[in-house]
Chain A
Amino acid sequence: MNKHVSPAINRRAFVIGTAAVGAGLALGLDIPFGGPAVVRAADGSPEVNAWVVVRPDDTVVIRIARSEMGQGSLTGLAQLVAEELECDWSKVTTEYPTPGQSVARKRAWGDFSTGGSRGIRSSQDYVRKGGATARVMLIEAAANEWKVPASECKAANSVITHTPSGKTTTYGKVAEAAAKLTPPAEVKLKDPKDWTIAGKGLQRLDTADKTTGTMTYGIDVKLPGMLNAAIKDCPVFGGKLKSYDEAKIAGMKGVKKVVKVGDTAVAVVADTWWHAKTALEALPIVWDEGDNAKVSSETIAKWLAEGLDNEHPAYVGNKNGDAKAAIAGAAKKIEAVYNYPYQNHATMEPMNATALYTADKCEVWCGTQNGEAAFAAVLEASGLPAEKCDVHKLMLGGGFGRRGMTDYVRQAVAIAKQMPGTPIKLLWSREEDMAHGRYHPITQCKMTGAFDADNNLVALHYRLSGQSILFSLRPEALQNGMDPAAFQGVAQSGEAAFGYSVPNLLIEHAMRNPHVPPGFWRGVNVNHNAIYMECFMDELAHAAGQDPLEFRRKLMGNHPKHLAVLNAVAEKIGWSKPAPQGVYRGVAQIMGYGSYVAGAAEISVTDGSKIKVHRIVASTDPGYVVNPAQVERQIAGSFVFGLSALFYGGCTVKDGRIEQSNFDTYNSMRINEMPKVEAVMVPSGGFWGGVGEPTIGVAAPAVLNAYFAATGKRIRSVPLRDQNITFA
């Protein structure tokens, strides 16, 4: 049976032998495609190359560098390798190489980071080459054995056939010889239309263990002699730990040690986590909260609102014509101000990591979206060199961008370093997880649209005010101070390009960075930009007295791929025909992560405040679809994520800290609130887009636009919880 092998169980998965050096790709890394020195897996099976190990029984082990967190890319990447390898899919298993092994082999597996919906699109080329190269080498090994030209042999389903004679052998029998061959300099990849494994809705490789409780997540790690830690970091971001009174918890059951973690946190280490948490709650702690304790949601909102004023400086992200002049001279103009709150990722599995530190080694076991970043964090926190550190990646109980951060890894190492030789599992309580997120950035947006006398849109001014993620997390990526990612979905060009042509356009960002730390929150800046733009587009259509779909279409002539997905949802939901009695529709479209997406919703509203979502149609053009069953799940899941955010997702700030502490104050959608999502995949080929995130952007505006159609009321502030609007 197909299976993903957890590295916690099989952590010495393979031996690093002589580094295999092959044809590297020009990516600042050295991706080996095989030979001449054979690298062996722990069981002695040869690596044909870094991605492919073939065992004598024909089992194919495919190495996956990107992390699986539910999005299905583990299975999709394996499909791409297997497609080119021409192996028997029923004998495929997968395993993670560790970041330490990758570094020791000159980054043999390339980038480990799993975010930005990049899992498949950014590695498809070299993993397919990995599979194709291995296939060529396996065929050549068989041909050599038979003393026939390789051109007379072909491979299918892990069987190599010499066509003229009919002789056959299997991958398992020739893998040893293949591993010694020099890899081909070039391989030709299949045309996706000829795919037989990729492109199919095959079942995931990691399902079975998730139904029996046997899948190992970070929280489930057990090591001999392991102790458990619970932690509290200063609830005011930027504050410090002043003191704590350890004597007050002396003698509490199971407590082994109380440790300071950096300048800001304190942890209790105990035999069980329950004991650690119980003692931590009883521990008197004094914080030095600092000036940030004066900050509240109100003060932040006021500061951001000031940024909407044109008098203040702003970075220009997209521009043509002269929007300000056109607005000043227009026959008619409308204006609206929207806002979007902080939101916590709220992964079902709270942050955790297990660390074992000794004088000459530091190992960490955790779920991470970025194995290499976690590895770097281990090096830094432990003070040990790369060859003495490693990270063993486990299944993630949700990521959504949060587990691309390494704060919890650093903390675990900092605690373990104070207890050398004892493995320490650090687990955050849900309350700690809510208090120390890396929140969806907070923004406001003022939009002004202007029409000529014939109700044609002649100008649009889109002015964002608010937080930059890159300013906080990747300042090196700023461009003369501007955060280019702030314009996701409304950018001039690229993978998140604006889908409308407006003769006079100004899209700008007044950057204002409150003290609450922002992060990459699934969908990232697409989420608020899609609400602002697509709801305001509806306002513009209404002001022009036009159908929202037709109004959009007129502006999309130069954006055929944006238009195609919009048309796809319109057709599927039956836009040209009336909705059922009492049911109202809304649409939205956006581009993000290289993919074009659109959504349409049918809702009814009771008493102006109770929304029932009856139907959702969502279309996506990601270029290529590697596993339609998983893409469909990502589209449906994106609506759950996006609508949870719309209805419930808001983190407010009081006295410098986050007020929401658990799912009772930060709710998430349940099954009764969620209709079926009808997914329409319209892959047009020629490019590779992501699917884990873009659709989230259209979920909220599709429903908000339907709400306006139903009630005549515009909702310009998220979440609906704070407008006293709920699910029916």
Chain B
Amino acid sequence: MANLTINGKSITVDVEPDTPLLWAIRENVGLTGTKYGCGIAQCGACTVHIDGVAIRSCGVAVSEAEGKQITTIEGLANGGTLHRVQQAWIAHDVPQCGYCQSGMIMAVAALLKEKPKPTDADIDDAITNICRCGTFQQVREAIHTIANA
């Protein structure tokens, strides 16, 4: 059993303490926007926020996430208003297949919180998610659009 706080809601999940947070979120909580890509914290498709910091949830045990604020892609919007990263993603038509984009958006949202006007070098350092379709150009443009808004 683990008590998790996900998108502001307290949820008890019946899992072993070493279960990766990713799988608890997807299978036990039922929020499937957070994606499995590698399971070894390489690709970033499973990125969520833990206490506001972008973390690859496949590498975090639920026991480590207890008592912390977890935000998934489903909790990024403020009620009916999409987060500005989501809005920019739509305006720039960033996703291709879209599978990596939940993680990409979560990573970018965390970056912008820390650095509201990131340089290209800041983006290069902070955004290390894999996108096999190759949306990097639109990702970069969308980030700059938000920063310059």
Contacts and interface: CB of A to CB of B under 8 A. Distances in A.
Q: Are A and B co-members of a single complex?
A: yes
Interface of A: 69-72, 203-204, 206-217, 219-220, 222, 228, 253, 272-274, 346-350, 395-400, 427, 429-430, 629, 633, 636-641, 644, 662-664, 668-672, 674, 676-677
B128 interface: yes
A211 B106 CA distance: 10
CB-based closest 9 A-B pairs = A213-B33, A640-B134, A397-B99, A210-B98, A70-B97, A70-B96, A637-B134, A672-B124, A213-B73
A215 B73 CA distance: 12
B57 interface: no
Main secondary structure of the interface of A (DSSP, over half): loop
Contact of A220 (B15, B32, B42, B131): B32
A346 B132 contact: yes
Contacts of B86: 211-212
Contacts of B11: none
A671 to B, nearest CB: 4
Contacts of B82: 211-212
A507 B7 CA distance: 61
30 contacts: A70-B95, A70-B98, A71-B96, A203-B93, A207-B89, A208-B90, A209-B98, A211-B82, A211-B89, A211-B90, A211-B105, A212-B33, A213-B32, A213-B72, A213-B73, A214-B74, A215-B98, A347-B132, A348-B37, A348-B43, A348-B97, A397-B35, A400-B132, A633-B93, A636-B137, A637-B96, A640-B136, A671-B139, A672-B127, A674-B134
Contacts of A639: 134
A206 B98 contact: yes
B27 interface: yes
Contacts of B102: 213
B32 A663 contact: no
B134 to A, nearest CB: 3
Nearest to A633: B96
A674 B137 contact: yes
B88 to A, nearest CB: 9
B17 to A, nearest CB: 12
A299 to B, nearest CB: 30
B113 to A, nearest CB: 18
A663 B35 contact: no
A349 B136 CA distance: 18
Contacts of B135: 633, 637
A228 B23 CA distance: 12
Contacts of A71: 96
Contact of B130 (A206, A212, A348): A348
Contacts of B136: 636, 640, 669-671, 674
B138 interface: yes
Given A397-B99, A664-B40, A641 B134 contact: yes
Contacts of A349: 35, 37, 97, 99
Nearest to A677: B137
Contacts of A669: 134, 136
Interface in B116-132: 123-125, 127-132
Nearest to B19: A274
Given A70-B98, A664-B40, A636 B134 contact: yes
A677 B20 CA distance: 38
A207 B131 contact: no
Interface in B1-32: 15-16, 19-20, 23, 27-28, 30-32
A397 B36 CA distance: 11
Contacts of B40: 430, 662-664
A688 B32 CA distance: 38
Nearest to B106: A213
Contacts of A348: 35, 37, 43, 45, 97, 99-100, 130-132
Contact of A253 (B16, B32, B38): B16
B96 A670 contact: no
Contacts of B129: 670-671
Interface string B32-59: 1111111110110100000000000000
A209 B89 CA distance: 11
Nearest to A636: B137
Contacts of A633: 93, 96, 135, 137-138
A212 B77 contact: yes
B147 interface: no
A395 B90 CA distance: 18
A211 B95 contact: yes
Contacts of B137: 633, 636, 674, 676-677
A635 to B, nearest CB: 10
Contacts of A217: 35, 99
Contacts of B76: 212
Given A430-B39, A662-B39, 15 more contacts: A70-B97, A206-B98, A209-B98, A211-B101, A219-B35, A220-B32, A222-B30, A348-B37, A348-B43, A348-B45, A398-B99, A427-B36, A663-B42, A674-B136, A677-B137
Given A210-B101, A348-B43, A670 B128 contact: yes
B42 A664 contact: yes
Contacts of B100: 348
A519 to B, nearest CB: 16
Contacts of A203: 90, 93
